[in-house]
Chains A and B, each alone.
Chain A
Amino acid sequence: MLESKFVETIVGLFVALGVAALFMLAMKVSNLSSLGEDGGYDVTARFLNIGGLKVRSPVKMAGVVIGRVKDIELDRQSYEAVATLSLASKFDKIPTDTSANIYTAGLLGEQYVSLDPGAEDTFLKDGDRITLTQSAVVLEQLIGRFLYQKAAGDEG
């Protein structure tokens, strides 16, 4: 029979260790430290092609994650993709002529929305639309175009 105090101390340590492990997973392994889930504002952006963009893909500015893709819809009239981007409220000074591009992180990495800031003095608010957009680069198209140009170049 072990001493009660000893057992209780050990169990206290055990629970503390367990909670510390959970905390470590939350802070160091996941993205808790980078972004709050709510309290942001939404803007929309239209793309001709979103490629492999998905809901919850990151939205970055200068490489820093400032938000997430919240929703992706297809506009039934214009056949454009409408992406709703949820941006953290602390990034509230984003000019209205900011452009949105869909890039790929590395050759095989996931796709994300990159915002390039404009120069206007007015800033984006909840519900605004980003008008300057550039669609995702689809690898097949790129290779196709490259081969075509190459062929044309060889002839000329």
Chain B
Amino acid sequence: MTNHRLSPQTINDPLVKIRGVTFRRGTRLIFDNVDIDIARGKITAIMGPSGCGKTTMLRIIGGQLRPDSGSVVVDGHEVPALSRRALFTLRKRMGMLFQSGALLTDLNVFDNVAFPLREHTDLPESMIRDLVLMKLEAVGLRGAKHLSPNQLSGGMQRRVALARAIALDPLMIMYDEPFTGQDPISMGVLVRLIKLMKDALGITSIVVSHDVQETASISDYIYVISAGKVVGEGTPETLRNSASEWVRQFMDALPDGPVPFHYPAPDYEEDLLSGGRA
């Protein structure tokens, strides 16, 4: 479905190429010289403990944040250098699924999915209707088209948001923590949908998550980020057998390891004896 967009020369190039990206928030270093490749037509996962800046990475790829240094190339375009107009043109080919779904609360399900179509195309209403129903059918919520977003469960909201993200047939979709806070059934549905998007539509997917099992089950390639650096990468199998302490701690969910259990603090005994002077 999306293959017509790929010329033979570019087909083996990664869709997204991140090189030497450094990003600071205030004085805190979020990313330190990070390199990531996102292969076309594959599901690539970016994993890491909470607060390590995974979502920030998606925003950098989408051009909402600008890295302090380094290059981010999406489909041949250097994102941080793009003008606003060019960036918007590029974004029409990127979908993003926010953690909360981020549906427009003043529109119903149907209008939410129709929103990007109405904003960006001059299609007649009858065609928009067909397209929207197709997308909703794909996520299994065609029957919910008249409901308003706050009548839906969190998992269903994400599915509607997914239908909206694929409304313009994008090259890639970025999933921000798609499994967080879902019951096992919704989680299973989302896992299946993400896989379906790749298999049926050939959409390149970037999944940011800390849910190891689910993510590993669908990913083709995984990057593990911790403390601003890529500490491990490879296929799910390679990572499971990785010798790296960082990767081990994360994949096996160990409470203490390179990511310490304790927040950095002065010596415990000293702190207690200082009598509140510190």
Chains A, B in direct contact (C-beta < 8 Å) = yes
CB distance from A43 to the nearest CB of B (A): 64
In the complex, what distance in Å separates the CA atom of A1 from the CA atom of B148? 8
Q: Is the interface of A mostly helix, strand, loop or mixed?
A: loop
Size of the B side of the interface (Cβ < 8 Å), in residues, is 5
Q: Is the interface of B mostly helix, strand, loop or mixed?
A: loop
Closest residue on chain B to residue A1 by CB atoms: B108
In the complex, what distance in Å separates the CA atom of A1 from the CA atom of B107? 7
Contact with A along B79-112 (1 / 0, CB 8 A): 0000000000000000000000000001110010
In the complex, what distance in Å separates the CA atom of A38 from the CA atom of B107? 53
**Complex contacts, A1 vs chain B, CB 8 Å:** 106-108, 111, 148
In the complex, what distance in Å separates the CA atom of A1 from the CA atom of B111? 10
In the complex, what distance in Å separates the CA atom of A120 from the CA atom of B59? 90
In the complex, what distance in Å separates the CA atom of A64 from the CA atom of B107? 60
Contact with B along A1-33 (1 / 0, CB 8 A): 100000000000000000000000000000000
CB distance from B152 to the nearest CB of A (A): 15
In the complex, what distance in Å separates the CA atom of A72 from the CA atom of B63? 68
CB distance from B115 to the nearest CB of A (A): 13
**Complex contacts, B106 vs chain A, CB 8 Å:** 1
* A-binding residues in B (CB < 8 A): 106-108, 111, 148
Q: Which 5 pairs show the lowest CB-CB distances between chains A and B?
A: A1-B108, A1-B107, A1-B148, A1-B106, A1-B111
Q: What would be 5 A-B contacts, judged by CB atoms less than 8 Å apart?
A: A1-B106, A1-B107, A1-B108, A1-B111, A1-B148
